[in-house]
């Protein structure tokens, strides 16, 4: 089950990671890349723990 649902507008673009990020309770960041968004992915995962969030966005905004 998803930890939370987060609007893409509430996430931050991280140039270094080339991903949208959102703070995780563990202290790290949930991450989802442009490639994942373009592929229709809606899950942003934290690399440091087992939590993940559902990202709310319009897939048409990320089509090539």
The tens digit of pLDDT for each residue in 17-51 reads 999 999 999 999 999 999 999 999 999 999 999 99
Q: Which of 37, 6, 33 is nearest to 22 (CA)?
A: 6
Please give the model's pTM, rounded to 2 decimal places: 0.91
Confidence class of residue 62 from pLDDT cuts 50, 70 and 90? confident
């Amino acid at each position: 089950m998803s930890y939370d649902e987060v609007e893409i507008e509430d996430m931050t673009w991280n140039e270094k990671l080339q991903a949208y990020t959102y703070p995780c309770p563990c202290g790290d960041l949930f991450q989802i890349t442009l490639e994942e968004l373009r592929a229709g992915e809606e899950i942003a995962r934290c690399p440091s723990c087992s939590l993940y969030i559902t990202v709310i966005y319009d897939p048409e905004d990320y089509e090539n």
